Structure 1
Amino acid sequence: MGSAYSYDTKAGKRWEARYRKPDGKPARKGGFMRKRDAEAYLTTVESAKLQGAYIAPGESRITIGDLGAAWLITHKTAVKPSTFHSDESAWRVWVEPAWGARQVGSIRHTEVAAWVAKLSAIRKPTTVKRCHGVLAAIFDGAVRDRRLQSNPAREVKTPRKIPKSRPYLTHQQVERLARESLYPDVVRFLAYTGLRWGEATALSVADIDPSRRRLNITKNAVAVNGHVVLGTPKNHERRTVLYPRFFDRAMQGAIANKRPDELVFPANEGGYLRPGNSKSGWFEGASKRARKTDATAAAEERARGEALRAVMPRITPHDLRHTAASLAISAGANVKAVQRMLGHKSAAMTLDTYADLFDDDLGDVATALDRQRSFALQR
């Protein structure tokens, strides 16, 4: 237990609480008007020390700017380059300007909630969640370092991300898109294997086993700030994926006369293949031409009074991964097989992501139950 000592000031007599911190170093806090106030403070200090909740008064004076700079250094080694790039951008553009000069102990929960609400009015939910996540992670570090007792950024509601409807292409649409494309085999490959763009473009000849049609997914090529960075697949999980028989000839052509370390699907000019600009790149160009072809054909069919073909939806390279899931499920693949193909952490994640593709299964279950009931009652 510490002790209270008096001292004189121009404003009169004051009291100071002297005690030892958990590490044994001496500490003091002055300015108390009465001795019993200093002693009450000492009681709270001793109680906090016993409970392991003691925080030195000076520890919470460090700024968010100082903590954020330190957090970025360790965070960079803990996440993938693409994730770090997004988090660093969120810190630099939104978090640091708003909170950098503030002492960590001065920030209240309501202030963070108000900031999130203000940010939600001008930015998309994804950006808001990332910015809030960065600030909350910095506070988490402050709590672990015993600068704060609790994190004022936790339990702050962030805007919900409204899931977008996924375009699923038919076999015919995949083929039309491929024929309009500068890289037709890449389009077909993505639509029938479900690989992520970075996984497909990182494949080297050594990753291919053409005799068994197997792909060993061990790498991921991601564009970060204009440069391609080679890393591990998402969640660092390696997996094996099979490609269908019809792709044998294309795969043989893609790996012929290449060294084991050469890319299977390089850009025509060399290096890692990229989808190009989302408005004028080669993939978007192929998509536009396919949609135009479909729209023209549909107009002609309407004029003849015939059934209209489905017009190609707007689509991105990642949407071909959704198409692969759709085609696999419609072909009878079970959830576990689709999970392994896509590299999801669990079958539950696959079901949550593609619940809409299993609607027909509900009808099958109802039909089977009806059939079984009729059979049982007839007996």
Structure 2
Amino acid sequence: MGSAYAYDTKAGKRWEARYRKPDGKTARKGGFLRKRDAEAYIAEVEVSKSAGTYIAPSDAHAPIAALGVDWLVAHEAAVKPSTYHSDESSWRIHVEPRWGARRVGSIRHTEVAAWIAELAATKSPTTVKRCHGVLASILDGAVRDRRIPANPARDVKTPKKSKKPKPYLSHKQVERVAAASRYPDVVRFTAYTGLRWGEVTGIRVRNVDLKRRRVLIEENAVEVNGHVQVGTPKTHERRAVVYPAFLDKAVRAAVKGKALDDLLWPAEFGGYLRPGNAVSGWFAGAVKRIRAEDAKAAAEAKARGEETPPIMPRVTPHDLRHTAASLAISAGANVKAVQRMLGHASAAMTLDTYAELFEDDLDSVAVALDSQRSESLAS
């Protein structure tokens, strides 16, 4: 048990609490106006020591900048390169400038909430959530290291991300994009397997099973900050994906004459195939040309007083993944099959992502229940 000692200052008499830390070393905390305040602090320390929740005041003095550097080192080894790049940018641009000089023990919940509100006024919900996540993760580490008793960034509300409608292409629209692009077979393969772009471009010849029409997904070639980085698939799990029979000829042609470690779908001049610039790249260019054709046809139909035909939606290579889910579901695939095809961590994730595509299933269930009830009562 510690003791309280008096000492004199220019402002008058003050009291100092002296006690032993869990490691046996003596610690001091002064500045108390009354002896009983110092003794109350000592009592709190003893209770926290017994409960295993003791926080050394000196540990709470660590600056966020130092903790952030340590967090980034550990974070880089734990996440995908693309995730690390985004989180490192959030730390460097938003988190470190605001919180870097602050001592970890001085940060308050209300301050974090005010900062989030400031960010939300000018930044997208995605950016705000990522910045909050970085700070909260750093402070989680501080809690585990017993620098602070609780995380002041937790339970802070962040803006909700609005779900934008996904563009789903029809079979004919997929074919139009493929035919207008520089890599038609890659477009078709992506739209009918549901693979992520990095998974498609990371496939090697040795991953292809021509007899069973399957490809083993074990690499993911992601473009990060202008450079392609190769790692494992997003869920870190290898999976086999089936491709339709009509793609068999294209896959066999892509395999022919290549070594086992060669890429199945390389770029025209070798290396990993990239989707190109979002405005002027080869994929965007194909979509742009089709949309121009459709706009012209729609204008001509309107001038004739006829019903205007639909215009191809703006799509990205990633939207081909959404298209694959849509086409599979419309063909009768159940949620577990779609989950396995897309490589989602759970069926719940698939349902959450493509809930609108399963709406027709509700009608089917109602019709089936009605039919079974009628049959049961009749018998």
Q: Into which bin does the TM-score normalised by the smaller protein fall?
A: over 0.9
Deviation at 1:374? 3.5
2:192 aligned counterpart, secondary structure? helix
1:234 aligned counterpart, secondary structure? coil
Matches within 5 A, 1:350-369: 350-369=350-369
Deviation at 1:199? 0.1
Instruction: Identify the range of structure 1 (308-317 vs 227-236) with the bigger mean alpha-carbon deviation.
Output: 308-317
Q: Distance in 2 between matches of 1:34 and 1:345?
A: 58
Look up the match of 1:242. 242
Equivalent residues of 2:136, 2:153 under 8 A apart: yes
Q: Distance in 2 between matches of 1:306 and 1:253?
A: 44
Deviation at 1:300? 4.7
Identical columns (%): 69
2:18 aligned counterpart, secondary structure? strand
Look up the match of 2:56. 56
Look up the match of 2:132. 132
Matches within 5 A, 1:279-298: 279-298=279-298
Look up the match of 2:153. 153
Deviation at 1:10? 3.7
Amino acid at match of 1:204: R
1:14 aligned counterpart, secondary structure? strand
Structure 2 regions of 5+ residues with no counterpart?
none
Provide TM-score, normalisation by structure 2: 0.96
Look up the match of 2:29. 29
Look up the match of 2:78. 78
Q: Flag the 1:303–1:211 CA change in 2: closer, same or farther, 3 A.
A: farther
1:235 aligned counterpart, secondary structure? coil
2:113 aligned counterpart, secondary structure? helix
Equivalent residues of 2:19, 2:26 under 8 A apart: yes
The number of aligned residues is 379
Look up the match of 2:271. 271
Equivalent residues of 2:203, 2:264 under 8 A apart: yes
Deviation at 1:323? 0.4
Look up the match of 1:182. 182
Matches within 5 A, 1:1-379: 1-301=1-301, 308-379=308-379
Deviation at 1:296? 3.2
Amino acid at match of 2:317: P
Q: Distance in 2 between matches of 1:100 and 1:287?
A: 45
Q: Distance in 2 between matches of 1:248 and 1:240?
A: 16
Q: Distance in 2 between matches of 1:157 and 1:273?
A: 40
Provide TM-score, normalisation by structure 1: 0.96
2:58 aligned counterpart, secondary structure? helix
Q: Distance in 1 between matches of 2:308 and 2:105?
A: 65
Q: Distance in 2 between matches of 1:184 and 1:104?
A: 54
RMSD: 1.6
1:236 aligned counterpart, secondary structure? coil
Once the two structures are superposed, residues 264-293 of structure 1 have per-residue CA deviations (whole angstroms, 9 ceiling, x without a partner) of 111112111111111111111001112222
Amino acid at match of 2:124: K
Once the two structures are superposed, residues 320-371 of structure 1 have per-residue CA deviations (whole angstroms, 9 ceiling, x without a partner) of 0010011111111111111110001111211111111111112222222333
1:366 aligned counterpart, secondary structure? helix
Amino acid at match of 1:344: H
Deviation at 1:233? 0.2
Instruction: Identify the range of structure 1 (100-109 vs 191-200) with the bigger mean alpha-carbon deviation.
Output: 100-109
Q: Distance in 2 between matches of 1:138 and 1:361?
A: 44
Structure 1 regions of 5+ residues with no counterpart?
none
Once the two structures are superposed, residues 137-163 of structure 1 have per-residue CA deviations (whole angstroms, 9 ceiling, x without a partner) of 111111111111111100000000011
Q: Distance in 1 between matches of 2:315 and 2:111?
A: 40
2:280 aligned counterpart, secondary structure? coil
Amino acid at match of 2:275: P
Q: Distance in 2 between matches of 1:9 and 1:177?
A: 81
